[in-house]
Chains A and B, each alone.
Chain A
Amino acid sequence: MTSIAMGGVSKYFDAGETVANYRLTLEVVDGEFLVFLGPSGCGKTTALRLIAGLEQPSEGAIYFDNERVDGRSPSSRNVAMVFQNYALYPHMTVAENIGYPLRVRGVPPDERDRKVEAVTTLLHIEDQVEKKPAALSGGQRQRVALARAIIREPSVFLLDEPLSNLDAKLRQEMRIELKRLQNELDITTVYVTHNQEEAMSMADRVVVMNQGTIQQVAPPQELYERPRTAWVARFIGSPPMNLFEGTRQNGSIDFGEAGAVELDSVVRAGETDDPVDTTPPEDGTTASVVTSDVQGEVALGVRPEDLTITTSRPTTGNVIEGRVDTVEPLGEYVLVNVTVNDQLVNAKLADGTVSRDERVYLTFDNDDAYLYDENGELVG
């Protein structure tokens, strides 16, 4: 029963030369499954290590419930952690590995054995207890690492890219099992990954990080439907969202030779949803401000799955013109790469009847468009 709070936490390395985390402020609710998602080097692992106590923050504070824990050693925080490479002790058997947290705490051997038996049964590795880690498969090692983490009923459960060393099939299985386990144990969990599929499928909320800072904190669905910045938009989705770069001009967005799109329609569409809770500093979010004759660089975001392609120019709706570059038939769908003003965008189609170098028209619904200002913030 633990909630975690980070307030203005920064971490610098190399005597301040490297900024790993900058002013992270974040709450993890009791029992929540929170995922840190970001590209490698974005500081997500450092954030996790700060919570674990393996690193101490350069500034800021970390609370577990009402207790301040920064400056304390990991052992006094009652956290458990699963490492990317599992960090199983190679000289101990599986049973010794799993029992280690209890052994260093002076739990008597018979009680230890009982608990080891219980968790190994829970994780279906009861047949492996006498083996050394080297004799186990990747999936079994993963389970041993999990067993070692949950055996002492930690108040916080930390996982650092735990599935990245497994093959695709196993990863999917473990994903489901992890989620189930977390539901059953109801332990506050912080999970770090660079794999968005993992993040989206397991998380209650996702923390998207880039360059040491938090880009967006949101439940998976909201993250997909309403990326707060152009960076998040480009990061989430596979393939990610297309961002058409254009200029705002007299109530429309001009894409040069590729055409123009009415600004009103796009922004109004955005307003039908909940108002954006992050307030861009100058531009404001209301349609009146946006539609005024301010000029500037903007990016119009449309997901590949929301684009449709026609070969003849439609008369109504939003139309952007382009030329087919390549067509990739992927079985499940066809990915069409289209050049729009030297920019390559993708469209996911059910079937691809277009061919290379054909002139095509990309259309999309108002509801599926996102507008980002020159700072990359979501406008509508």
Chain B
Amino acid sequence: MTDEDPLKPTGIDAGSETTSDRDQYLRTEEIPETAPAADLDWRTRIAETIPSSRRTLTYLVAITIAVLWIVPFIGLFMASFRPLSEIIGGWWHVEGMSFTLENYYQAWDYSTAPMGRALRNTFIVTIPAVLVVMLLGVMAAYPFARFEFPLKTTLFFLILLVMAAPPELVAMGNYNALHEFGLFDTYMGLILIHIGWGLGWVILFLRNYLLGIPEELEEAARIDGASRYQIFRTIILPLSTPALVSVAVIQFTWVWNAFFFPLVFMRSPELYLAPQVLPLMTGRVQVEWGMIAAGSIMTMAVPVILFLLLERYYKRGMVAAVAD
């Protein structure tokens, strides 16, 4: 028994005579809410908040890389607000910079196919293509996740095959088919093609998600007296909302960004979609960088803003679509 070091173990018997139970056990009220102030002097506090020099370096490298990665977009953005002469001289020269919306007006009213109309066309095609794919996709995914039916494996294989196929492979058949149906060079034709093309991955993606919904919930609903359709509407649909949002964002981006399908199936300039118009702007003699930049910014703004708003769903969906 020494008094110098209170933490020195006293041995199991030592307490029996010299210390009472009151010393050995603490009452709950004695436990402080936070660490005693004396233990945290200002020196250790500061050391904890300021990262080590190695850590600082990591941050510097990381931020530099991330900024470098978007430099081309920064250039595009700056070019869209500056007159052509300043762009040719280099958008990175910022002294004496002038600001103009002229490029946007020019792009909006671009003579061959005004961006205003092209953007409207893109919305007309994209929104139904996304909504219908979501509905039909989740409907078809449900039996894939829950039931056995004939040809299931074959259909599965076909879906995988279509997911691997390049869009060029379906272009010839669809070109002839749309002519056959009288839907060539119409909104409806392009919408249907996007739906048929997107359904494959959407079915597979939603099926994987639905597999994660406990079957017990559906059994409970069946016992509660719900029909298969009621179960789908009141249990499956609400529970797959996060996956449906992922589908919506990704499919929207895909359809909006698509260039090949409109290029092949939209031939009248009045029906041109925004991505289709952009390469037309490159012109013959002097590239109109300002107008191209403005048009590009307008076109990419929609999917990029959507991505930033629903970033979580987009990323999660992307990862799940390929990794699950």
Whether chain B is bound by chain A comes out as yes
Q: Which residues of A contact B (CB under 8 A)?
A: 52-54, 73-75, 79-81, 83-85, 87, 89-91, 100-101, 103-105, 148, 152
Would A87 and B220 count as touching, CB distance under 8 A? yes
Besides A53-B222, A74-B225, A104-B224, 14 new A-B residue pairs in contact (Cβ under 8 A), listed by A number: A54-B222, A74-B222, A75-B222, A75-B226, A75-B227, A79-B223, A81-B220, A83-B216, A89-B221, A90-B239, A100-B221, A100-B224, A148-B220, A152-B225
Q: How far is the CB of A149 from chain B (nearest CB, A)?
A: 8
On whether A101 and B216 interact (CB within 8 A), knowing A89-B235, A90-B239, A91-B239, the answer reads no
* Cβ–Cβ < 8 Å partners of B282 in chain A: none
Q: How far is the CB of B220 from chain A (nearest CB, A)?
A: 4
Would B222 and A87 count as touching, CB distance under 8 A? no
Bound Cα distance from A152 to B225, whole angstroms: 10
Q: Which of B219, B227, B230, B241 has the most CB of A within 10 A?
A: B219
Would A104 and B216 count as touching, CB distance under 8 A? no
Determine whether B238 belongs to the interface, using a CB cutoff of 8 Å to chain A. yes
* Cβ–Cβ < 8 Å partners of B219 in chain A: 54, 74, 81, 83, 87
Determine whether B58 belongs to the interface, using a CB cutoff of 8 Å to chain A. no
Q: How far is the CB of A141 from chain B (nearest CB, A)?
A: 13
Bound Cα distance from A171 to B231, whole angstroms: 31
Of B217, B225, B239, B241, which is within 8 A of A87 by CB?
Answer: B217
Would A75 and B225 count as touching, CB distance under 8 A? yes
Would A87 and B214 count as touching, CB distance under 8 A? yes
Bound Cα distance from A118 to B235, whole angstroms: 25
* Cβ–Cβ < 8 Å partners of B226 in chain A: 75, 100, 104
Bound Cα distance from A176 to B216, whole angstroms: 26
Chain A minimum-CB-distance residue to B235: A89
On whether A85 and B216 interact (CB within 8 A), knowing A91-B239, A104-B230, A104-B234, the answer reads yes
Of B214, B216, B223, which is within 8 A of A74 by CB?
Answer: B223
B contacts with A: majority SS: helix
- Can you list the 6 inter-chain pairs with the closest CB atoms, starting with the nearest? A87-B220, A101-B224, A75-B225, A87-B216, A104-B226, A91-B238
Chain B minimum-CB-distance residue to A106: B225
* Cβ–Cβ < 8 Å partners of B220 in chain A: 81, 83, 87, 89, 148
B residues 213-265 touching A (CB-CB < 8 Å): 214, 216-217, 219-227, 230, 234-235, 238-239, 241
* Cβ–Cβ < 8 Å partners of A80 in chain B: 223-224
* Cβ–Cβ < 8 Å partners of A53 in chain B: 222-223
Of A73, A84, A148, which is within 8 A of B222 by CB?
Answer: A73
User: Can you list 27 A-B contacts with CB-CB less than 8 angstroms, sorted by A residue number?
Assistant: A53-B223, A54-B219, A54-B222, A73-B222, A74-B219, A75-B222, A75-B226, A75-B227, A80-B224, A81-B219, A81-B220, A81-B223, A83-B216, A83-B219, A85-B216, A87-B220, A89-B235, A90-B217, A91-B239, A100-B221, A100-B224, A100-B226, A104-B221, A104-B225, A104-B226, A104-B227, A104-B234
Q: Which of B221, B225, B234, B241 has the most CB of A within 10 A?
A: B225
Q: How far is the CB of B141 from chain A (nearest CB, A)?
A: 18
Chain A minimum-CB-distance residue to B231: A104
* Cβ–Cβ < 8 Å partners of B235 in chain A: 89
Q: How far is the CB of A298 from chain B (nearest CB, A)?
A: 45
Bound Cα distance from A101 to B222, whole angstroms: 9
* Cβ–Cβ < 8 Å partners of A152 in chain B: 225
* Cβ–Cβ < 8 Å partners of B239 in chain A: 90-91
* Cβ–Cβ < 8 Å partners of A74 in chain B: 219, 222-223, 225
Would B225 and A89 count as touching, CB distance under 8 A? no
Would A105 and B225 count as touching, CB distance under 8 A? yes
Bound Cα distance from A246 to B213, whole angstroms: 53
Q: How far is the CB of A164 from chain B (nearest CB, A)?
A: 14
Q: How far is the CB of A73 from chain B (nearest CB, A)?
A: 7
Q: How far is the CB of A126 from chain B (nearest CB, A)?
A: 21
Bound Cα distance from A265 to B97, whole angstroms: 113
Would A75 and B223 count as touching, CB distance under 8 A? yes
Of A52, A75, A89, which is within 8 A of B217 by CB?
Answer: A89
Bound Cα distance from A52 to B219, whole angstroms: 10
Would B221 and A54 count as touching, CB distance under 8 A? no
Chain B minimum-CB-distance residue to A85: B216
- Chain B 32-73: CB-based contact to A (< 8 A → 1; otherwise 0): 000000000000000000000000000000000000000000
* Cβ–Cβ < 8 Å partners of B222 in chain A: 53-54, 73-75
Chain B minimum-CB-distance residue to A96: B234
Bound Cα distance from A331 to B219, whole angstroms: 45
* Cβ–Cβ < 8 Å partners of A103 in chain B: 234
Bound Cα distance from A89 to B234, whole angstroms: 10
Bound Cα distance from A52 to B218, whole angstroms: 13
Q: How far is the CB of A33 from chain B (nearest CB, A)?
A: 19
Q: How far is the CB of B90 from chain A (nearest CB, A)?
A: 55
* Cβ–Cβ < 8 Å partners of B224 in chain A: 75, 80, 100-101, 104, 148
Q: How far is the CB of B25 from chain A (nearest CB, A)?
A: 22
Chain A minimum-CB-distance residue to B224: A101
Q: Which of B223, B227, B238, B239 has the most CB of A within 10 A?
A: B223
Would B217 and A101 count as touching, CB distance under 8 A? no
Chain B minimum-CB-distance residue to A73: B222
Q: Which of A52, A80, A84, A104 has the most CB of B within 10 A?
A: A104
* Cβ–Cβ < 8 Å partners of B230 in chain A: 104
Q: How far is the CB of A64 from chain B (nearest CB, A)?
A: 14
B residues 108-141 touching A (CB-CB < 8 Å): none
B residues 182-228 touching A (CB-CB < 8 Å): 214, 216-217, 219-227
Q: How far is the CB of A264 from chain B (nearest CB, A)?
A: 55
Bound Cα distance from A80 to B220, whole angstroms: 9
Chain B minimum-CB-distance residue to A80: B223
Bound Cα distance from A105 to B219, whole angstroms: 16
Q: How far is the CB of A235 from chain B (nearest CB, A)?
A: 27
Q: How far is the CB of A91 from chain B (nearest CB, A)?
A: 4
* Cβ–Cβ < 8 Å partners of A75 in chain B: 222-227
Q: How far is the CB of B229 from chain A (nearest CB, A)?
A: 10
Chain B minimum-CB-distance residue to A151: B224
Bound Cα distance from A177 to B222, whole angstroms: 26
Would A52 and B225 count as touching, CB distance under 8 A? no
Bound Cα distance from A91 to B217, whole angstroms: 11
Chain A minimum-CB-distance residue to B226: A104
Q: How far is the CB of B311 from chain A (nearest CB, A)?
A: 23
Chain B minimum-CB-distance residue to A49: B219
Chain B minimum-CB-distance residue to A158: B223
